[in-house]
Amino acid sequence: MGQDESRPISPSIPPRQLKSRSIESVAHYILNRPVSKVVVLTGAGISTSAGIPDFRSPETGLYANLSRLNLPYAEAVFDIAYFRQNPEPFYTLAAELYPGKFRPTLAHSFIRLLADKGLLLKLFTQNIDCLEREAGVPGDLIVEAHGSFAEQSCIECKLFYDKDEIRKHVAAKTIPRCPSCDGLVKPEIVFFGEQLPAAFFANRMLPVEADLVIVMGTSLTVQPFASLPQLAREDAVRVLINKEVVGGLGSRADDVVVLEDCDEGVRQLAKALGWLNDLEALWAETRPAREQEVNQTEFTKDEKLEREIDKLTKEVDETLNLSKWQDEKVRGDVLPSVKQDTAKGPATVKATAVNDTAIHAVAVPGQTPHEDEKGDLGHVFPASKPSNTSDDKH
């Protein structure tokens, strides 16, 4: 069970379990061999198409966007010692990533499909986004190796904290505290300086039992997670669906490497298995309710034309109203017009919104760099804070 060599296996060496090192042969193996134990290993790449920002892109990454909080170093946002002193950066990040904002990807639904067919032995994920759960993968089949937003507790007395309560704090941009000891509350995400979850160590040898190991969207650089593919037996099939070759995969006789993004790779595998319709149906279930409602509505040709005309008319009206507001602003009478008539439609709303934002943007430099005594993070999100602060509820 030592480390595999990183160089790819010679094409002259035939596979042992597969007819060829291809997706089609993997599908044949699943359908015609007694495959009943599939282990899936995933990383951040499985969630990219969901729109979750990455961490390290120079201008758009979450670490770059947290620079306004003056972190001593980027990873401090996940450092438990720093969190004890200043929880604000983490909760700023939590507001961006909290479950419910993103739809699971096709790859997440494929894992759900494996579970529905009774083939999934265990999913090991490095991700904290809970998208596997939202796709419908049963919680008892998931090992969140680096923790997740699924549960939360006090970092001092370890008291469990209600998920609905922490959701309210994240939405209000306030810092939750333990009702028992007033300690800081944190989702059970593994920070630097903390141990991995006990569930990881209790299940880490399961790849040894697998008939098939599927690795998706991970660089396999972080230990001990990175060692899991090497635990697979020599007679097990390993499949890598990734943008690049990682972790020595491709060095064994029955390794199949698919250099695609995760959604495209699972689509190819599902098609070869004859499961594509099942997969797309499961993924459709994850569509937001409002979108499902619209898509399920049947319209006649005339109704569709009427909806398009209404949409264009509304856009023209909004443009005209915006132009009117701009003219008024130049004349310096925007605010009086807003006060005199609060029912003039889009122009009034836009003027109010712009002025609210401007007021709070000016107020920011006077704020302290840390949370106030109520745990308010309004100074981090100035544009979203109501103008009448006396009505704020935290």
Tens digits of per-residue pLDDT, 44-72?
999 989 988 666 556 656 666 666 677 88
Residues annotated in the binding site, as ranges? 154, 157, 178, 181
User: Highest-confidence range of 52-61, 217-226, 385-394, by mean pLDDT?
Assistant: 217-226
* Binding residue numbers for Zn(2+): 154, 157, 178, 181
* More reliable by pLDDT, 245 or 296: 245
What is the pLDDT of the chain when averaged over all its residues? 78
pTM for the model: 0.71
Mean pLDDT computed over 28-51: 93
> Is 146 among the residues known to form the active site?
yes
Instruction: Give the distance, in angstroms, between the CA of residue 6 and the centroid of all CA atoms in the same chain.
Output: 30
Q: What confidence score (pLDDT) does residue 172 get?
A: 87
Domain 53-101+150-189 has CATH 3.40.50.720: no
39 pLDDT higher than 50? yes
Please state the domain extents for the chain.
13-51+108-146+199-291, 53-101+150-189
DSSP 97-163: H-TTSSPPPHHHHHHHHHHHTT-EEEEEE---S-HHHHHT--GGGEEETTEEEEEEEETTT--B--H
Question: How much of the chain exceeds pLDDT 90, in percent?
Answer: 54
The answer to whether 94 touches 264, Cβ cutoff 8 Å, is no
* DSSP notation for 301-360: HHHHHHHHHHHHHHHHHHHHHHHHHHHHHHHT-HHHHHHH-TTSTHHHHHHHHHHHHHHH
CATH superfamily, with its number, for domain 13-51+108-146+199-291: TPP-binding domain (3.40.50.1220)
pLDDT in tens, 171-194: 888 999 999 999 999 999 999 888
Read off the pLDDT of each residue in 68-77 and give the average, rounded to a whole number.
81
Q: Is the pLDDT of residue 101 over 70?
A: yes
Can you give the pLDDT at residue 217? 94
Q: Report the pLDDT averaged over residues 228-253.
A: 95
Contact (Cβ atoms closer than 8 angstroms) between residue 128 and residue 57:
no
* Cβ neighbours of 352 (radius 10 Å): 15
What is the structure's pLDDT at 66? 67
What pLDDT does 303 receive? 58
Which residue blocks in 233-300 are alpha helix, DSSP H? 262-273, 276-285, 289-296
In this prediction, residue 342 has a pLDDT band, given cuts at 50, 70 and 90, of very low
Q: Which residues contact 251 (CB under 8 A, 6 or more apart)?
A: 4, 5, 6, 7, 8, 9
* 117-164 pLDDT per residue, tens: 999 999 999 999 999 999 999 999 999 999 999 999 999 999 999 999
| Burial of residue 367 (number of CB atoms within 10 Å: 0-12, 13-18, 19+) | middle
Query: Distance (Å, rounded) from C-alpha 370 to C-alpha 379?
Result: 9
Question: Active-site residue among 28, 108, 146, 360?
Answer: 146
